[in-house]
Structure 1
Amino acid sequence: MSISANREKRAWVVIILTSVLGSDHSPMWVSPRHKQDADLFALGRKRVRKIQVDNGSDDCHTVNMMSTVKPKSFIQELPAKVYLDLETALNDGYWKRMALLCRNGLGKCIFSTHQLLEIEKSSSPARKLLDHFKQHSMEVQVLQKLLRSLQLYDILENIVTNVPVSVLKPTEDIQETFEIGETVHLMIEAEGSPEPTFEWTHNGQPCPGAVSRIFEIRNFSPETEGEYVCHLTQNIGEDTIQVSSPKFHLLMKKAVPKIEVDLEDTFLEYGEEMMLSCKAVGWPKPSFKWYKDCHLLKGYTESTLKITNVDLLVSGSYYCEVSNEVGQKFSRVAPPCFAPDKPKIVRQPQKKSSYGLDDRVDLSFEVTCRYNVDFQCFVNQNMIGDDHLTASKKGDYYCCNLHYILDRDEWEREDRKPFQFCFLAKSPGGVVMSNVVEIQVEINFEPKIFTARNKFALLICNSEYPGNELRTPQLDAEMLARELAMLQFRCFIYSNVTRSEFRSAARLFSEYIQKGDYAVFYFAGHGFHNKGIDYMMPIDTSSKYVYQNGNLRLPPEKIPNMEDCVKSTWISNVIQESKPALLFSIYDACRNLLGHWSNESEVTDTFKIAEGNSYTLYSTSENYGTDEGLTASLLMEKFVKLVRNKVPVPELVQQFREAYSLSRVKKQIPKAEGDLNQRRSLTDPPKPQEMDKDGVLYEWEALASVGGAHRKEMLLGDQKIEASVKCKHTDIIKDKEKTLSKTTWIITNYINISIEFTQEGKPIHVCNIWKKGLTVDLHFNNGDKKSTDLKGKAINYQILDLQKLKEPLKLELTLRYLPEGLVSVQEFDLGWPSVSKQNEHWNCLD
């Protein structure tokens, strides 16, 4: 590999190799004069080879176009919008990393520890940092390099310098040899603005799906040998620039065969098929020979040896020889053995319909086997003594009978959980287990009746993730809210919230919770699990590329940015500050593990000291994903049918898990945990204190208000038309008793706007004078617009994201009669509907 003498400008080409043929090869280093700039890492069967190559001149010439920034202009010349976006992004945890990059020589500013502390104390560290950059006359092209190092590509896209694309690394052709089965990663580094597109070719032919800077070739083989080139295309105005990278010449290396899957000991039964398998790789392709007791078995030249209808003549020692022109390898010796039969189940244990305390349980388990069988029996995973068991034999059939008394003391020790019985049958040929028989004790007693002070629920449903939308979160939240409202829970529903809106909603919710209340928290959306903590993803969660556990041998992975997510521990701690009597949390999100990707420090955010009041249901277990149907998630499809059951929360969750297990869905495994030490139920009635009527409940109704009917006259020609505008919450509750109640049970961050037109007391659509039709234009001050023909009694429109309103909601209503060119415009001030009130000064949340 040749390396040019230009050492002023240099770049790295990283080729990541995953060897499946062993690591017995000596390291390959670059030429001695570049040895100080090259590293070869070896770990097990993987190698990372870093090869330094020189880069040519990086002089760039901008293309003169309007509304661009010159690369060597100063950062204070950036557009104000770009500058504000840059400040916002850096304030979100990136300013310090950018300052540290400057320490490493990427910028002209070198910050001391004292300067970093001063910046951190300011109200806007990013603004302080950028002021330093201004003082040192930082150029836009230097800022672009810093942003590229921080992977802030969203900001980079807004800083257009019209610099033609150029390939920085590698600067010359590369030739390497690889062993069969290796994973090869080809990578180029390029600069240019705007960003180019990438396309890799193999021997002149496009590689499907290879459209990024990194190209992965898995399982390197003779078919993947050849010449690879990356072609870059950039559009600057009406000009198209095309650049090709240096060539990557990949060659196959000859190698001695390596046995990947060796022979295993085989236990056979008479008359069945014997199969021995030896899988190996090597180049040239290896051949196989099979031996029995050191004698060649003629005709067997495949990697698998099959012999049908085996008997005692098959006994012996088998091994395989794998060879090619480079060398040979021998498998281990495997002597097949004939195993005795293991028991086969004839009859599973069956229980009767019901049991009470001190009742006797009689269960039987029957198997058949040609060898002697021993039995054991377990209750709640504890072995039962032989004095409770009787065994019998008739020919090759064995039966075990259990006689067990359901003891009250044992039931109390097990926290009144169901008794679970299971049999084990063991012979020289193996072990079989019976089905688990679960017996729920039925007992007549008067349990303590619990009450709640007030009952509130916060339901957050995110579905509109960019490029990864979900179907059912809002439907799931509305279904659950409908059932909770029937249990007299006052429910908040927030849909499609950002991180700041997520946290504000939680803070607002905690303001309503008081000591002795029941609180339910529900989240539906994307999430993940990392180092014992569950993370919920707002809709503005960004992504970043990281190396798995910092391992440069593996390609970088795209993962969610943890700083943009909300931790389950944070939500729990915020609600627990109000000391509710019950906190029931439901997380309907994926819990895939990101720990093996994360290079973050250990999690320090933990739950507060257990209050004995919480219980949590997860839609799935760690390292499992979740799924959704057409109208509901797999969790909510089952759970919503059980919410009104009058049982304690742990038993409610257990009922759900049993119902879920019957569905035989294996895509996700629900999990529950908690420290609830009282038998509290979601159905417990609320008993507000007298002070709550003029306090928290009054504030709830004030927040829920959406204003009355707004009526105004509109003059269309010489005709007077009365327009009526009404705001109302989405009609989620269908129950007549609840809709007739004066209490508002559900507050959402979206409302319906209903507009009706009348003339002389009649709906306008039945008046003959307007038989040719009226056109209605709606224009809200939040940017929403709608134009429609008036065909029915009313026009309905839904306003979303009320939490984003920064001023009272206003509607400009335009009525048109096109046949005569008549137009009438009227403005309606709709005030602060529902949760938009949190933006008023007296209710502002941080």
Structure 2
Amino acid sequence: MGDWSKNLGTLSEDALSRLAEMLDNPTRGWRQLANTVNEHPQLRCSESELTSCSVQVLSPTGSPTRYLLARLADRSCSLALLLSCLKKIDHQHAVQYLTATVMEQIHITVQPQAQQGLEGGRVVLTCRAAGPAGLSYQWFRGKEQILGDTGSAADLVLCPLGPVHQGHYICRVNHGENCTFSQWAHIRLGRSENSSPGCSSTLFPGSKSGLCITRQPRSQTVTEGDTLFLECHAEANPPAQYHWYHNMKELQHQKHSVLRIPAMTTAHRGQYSCRVYTLFHETWSNPVKVHIATDKVALLIGNMNYVHHTQLCAPMADVHELANLLRQLDFKVVSLLDLNWQEMNSAVTEFLLLLDKGVYGLLYFAGHGYENYGNSFMVPIDAPASYTSDHCLCVQSVLQRMQERETGLNVFLLDMCRKRNPNDDVIPRSGPLKVTANIVFGYATCVDAEAYEVKRDDLNNGIFISFLKQRLCEDEKVTVMLDRVAEGMYYMGRCELMRGRQALELRSNLSERRALTDRIQNTESCTDNSTRNLQWAIAHVLPKSRKLHFECGVQVQIGFAAEFSNIMIIYTRILEKPQEIVSCSAELIDFPEEGVDLDLKKSNQESIIEAGSLLPIMENMPSPQSPSLYTRLKSLQRLKTELTFSVCVHYRYSNMEDEEVQETQSVTVGKPLVSKLNLHEPRLPRSSSADFHSFNAPETSLYAEDLGPDFPSSETLSFGSASTTWSYYSQAATEQPRSNSPTTLRVNIPEENAIAELMECPPQPLTSSQSLTQSQITQETSRFNDPYNFHSY
């Protein structure tokens, strides 16, 4: 059977083109498919995207369906979901073709494994595949095919084992002209019975029998509720016996070569090893660690509007893109724009309190930065002109605090320059990092180099994120995914303009396969997860939409949408007005002078673009057909009191059109979004190893009505105060380039040739906003040909 869970992007180009031919019609075609797909929020297409589909017909080789399928593939639409949508629109021809195509695909179900054997012994490599009937197998050692019946079976038997058999093996599975390859498996000989790892010491010196482990168990990360499988196989005469141990304690009834533990919980994590023995010999497998992925949290910071340094543009779009993609992967995301030192320090401190054993933690920073003596520093927006490490946050210090939480994975993505800071000669002493094999650094550029962004209309995109967003959702080990990002950046770097300017650097000690796509299944019995989820839910509560009734008979609605965790859009619209009133509008006035950043010239605008937002905010917004006025509030993390403002209604009566009347009502909406965290307040020193739910802090109670309709209205929820926990919001963003150097490199490319047009990652409908679109990277590096559109960070 075919693998229907795969992304539709795994279909061949021929298959996608054939589907496009079938659906490029007005009756039962791509428009009907798009309408059906829109029933799934994660796949919903915007009006602008549907318009882009339509205009494909203007190109001789354009296809609306092909464009739509590409958008769905980027949203991780599965083959099964596509099939379901095709059935709903009753396109039998496409259903039959897709079914036949998927069923004919070849999928490796059992991969050959690296093994070690003794000379004269026996090793078996196994490859199994699912697919259409009549699959055939071909084995290769390196580039040399293994001929005869031995090399054309699913099991490759190497016996008697000798030096000639050492090397790397791979299996090709064929069906007609279609084929797929297995992973590589390395075969090596044991040095001797007494010295090779996994081979026994002889209990009875006179015995000629041997014992050698040929397949070692592997460390892995599993999700709560999953089944754990560990394998240990040995060559022995007489046959070997097995006994498994957990944290050096014997596991009763686990006496087979395969250890199987169903429904894993956090109690099952730890070290496992297998004792292998015969009557004459005994040996132990390599110890392996099993981790439970208990949760995934991310903090994204984008600094743009620096007080004393070059203003940046890309962080806003970059953080927005990354936040949406990480939410697709079940990360709890807090994204914040334009933080000063105190706010950055408080945000990181609160973020660390959400980490715990097994949690995946990701921190992304876009802004100015530098690197001295191997330590990286993130620069806040209030850093003085000649800043030092005292004015910045040290990445290595943050990482050390993360490791104290015993996280399952620590990922740092630093989209900033790494030039040396001549004003800072102090060698930081953050202490040695633990050897935990769970650290991944993704630097947007190399040591002593700058990072760049590319200007596109009013939005800038960093080169790093432009490539990262195409790979982030791939189900691959983190380092493998970042390697592919690096390859894409390297390819672009071959053009003359970018050569030697920016290339991704990856540092990692990640020895296990841990992916950002690892599934998380929180259980209700897990107190840590329940507390963390509750805090995050509270942190995402927008003020309730409300209706205001004025004495003149006008009814006004005010509503709220989150652009980022610290940026909120407020809209007003007229719901009802008496017939004698000929014109009417509702504006917001009297905002506090301190605590929020508001551009009065851009308040009460007819579109969110005119209000200063460059991002398409979809949810919680009125329909475009409903006339509304929009106001954008920034820097909510600095709000110290409840947000209060006024709604002013301007109207004219039919019998006195020349005279405008005003009526005002005051509105208080509490502390919205991240303002509840009080990031402006200093955090008291405390051990980051303490549990985030165990502080002896004053308690704050919120009634369930503050949480919205998804929470019981009769319950009161208590948790640590905002000064010690992420008690409240998570949805912010970022804004411009990044560097401690005043150098700027610009490239003014015509719009149709801009880099953003070459890099594709369509919108992801998440929370209150959608991702930005960018076109697919092509091999046309010659398009980077004008030295005026690049900015250094």
Q: What is the TM-score of this pair, normalised by structure 2?
A: 0.45
Q: What is the TM-score of this pair, normalised by structure 1?
A: 0.42
Larger CA Rg, structure 1 vs 2: 1
Higher strand share: 1
